[in-house]
Amino acid sequence: MPAIPAIGDRTARYMDIPEAAKGPDVDPAKGYRLQDFGGGLYMITDNVYQSMFLVYDKGVVVVDAPPLYAAKIQQGIAEVTDKPITHLIYSHAHKDHIGGAKAIGGNPVIIAHAETARLLKRAADPDRPVPSVTFQDKYTLNVGGKKLELSYFGNAHEPGNIYIRAPEQKVLMVVDVIFPGWMPWRRFAVAQDVPAVFAQVEDIRKMKGWDTLVGGHVARTGTRADVDVQAEFYADLKKAAGGALATTKLGEGMDPKDQTNPWALFDNYIDRVALQCVNTLTPKWATRLGGYDAWIWDQCFAMEQSMRIEEG
């Protein structure tokens, strides 16, 4: 079984990235790559973040502007068209996905969920202008015969995080929920509602009308099989944490003096639950998901907490 360093221990070297987690190379001279989905729709990525743009007869619709490469989005668009950016869609309010909104240039109409507008008003961040067009449940952007369907299914990752579907290209973009080939970012991608994230993974699995998934992160797009793998990993994680919660006893092996300190009792208990959870998952998953060793402790801690205090 691969050794996962204990919490707080720095590893000399992280585990190798499995082939299934890798994607096409990015030209280091450009710093981004384009992926053509057909019908004017492209993904632009630096193999860490992913965003899209849609070219129509009079302009370009940009979906997200990660600050890491936002200044190059114009250059990427210029590879395929000289039309101006007319619209910008925010998947959600997080700065790491839309903090380059100003850097893409132009003066686009900005579209986002009403909750995203609320969060951005509060943030008052000049790099993330407040959207001028908002919606609650659904919004279809029709431009020159091309379509993007935006829908909201409630809070999971963050309030206002929407699904963006390009029906013609059968592309579904849902950011920070599915991580093709990779361990999800720590604590279920810092989910604000863990049970809702589990439900969204199932919903995406069952949702018809898409073949390619843009997850907002990692080196490649996703397939339906990638969503199945993530659902299987989450099911195993829940089983492992549930098993550990059921068999671990509060205070076992502790100095009697510490038994009157409730924080110490739970620190000790939760650590032992997480340890059992990690050790249960490692044989099957350590070599299957990119970055497993980076975040498995975080996932077990988040799963333990969610199951102990959120579920019935």
Query: Could you tell me the two tokens for 218?
Result: 């990692």
CB atoms within 10 A of CB 293: 20
Q: Please report, to the nearest 10 degrees, the dihedral formed by the alpha carbons of residues 155, 160, 161, 162 taken in order.
A: 110
Region near Zn ion per CB under 5 A, out of 27-35, 70-78, 92-100, 230-238: 92-100
**Could you tell me the smallest distance in angstroms from the CB atom of residue 94 to Zn ion?**
3
Q: Is residue 188 within 8 Å of 201, Cβ to Cβ?
A: no
**Could you tell me the smallest distance in angstroms from the CB atom of residue 219 to Zn ion?**
18
Residue with tokens 């059968």: 170
Rounded alpha-carbon distances, angstroms, from residue 82 to 37, 54, 58, 74: 19, 13, 10, 9
Q: Please report, to the nearest 10 degrees, the dihedral formed by the alpha carbons of residues 184, 190, 192, 194 taken in order.
A: 40
Region near Zn ion per CB under 5 A, out of 59-67, 90-98, 256-264, 268-276: 90-98
By the rule CB under 5 A, 94 interacts with Zn ion: yes
Question: Taking the chain, what is the end-to-end CA distance rounded to the nearest angstrom?
Answer: 33
By the rule CB under 5 A, 64 interacts with Zn ion: no
Residue nearest to Zn ion (CB): 94
**Could you tell me the smallest distance in angstroms from the CB atom of residue 242 to Zn ion?**
27
By the rule CB under 5 A, 128 interacts with Zn ion: no
By the rule CB under 5 A, 176 interacts with Zn ion: yes
Using the minimum distance from each CB to Zn ion, give the nearer residue, 72 or 94: 94
**Could you tell me the smallest distance in angstroms from the CB atom of residue 155 to Zn ion?**
12
Using the minimum distance from each CB to Zn ion, give the nearer residue, 94 or 128: 94
Q: Which residues are at the interface with Zn ion (CB under 5 A)?
A: 94, 176
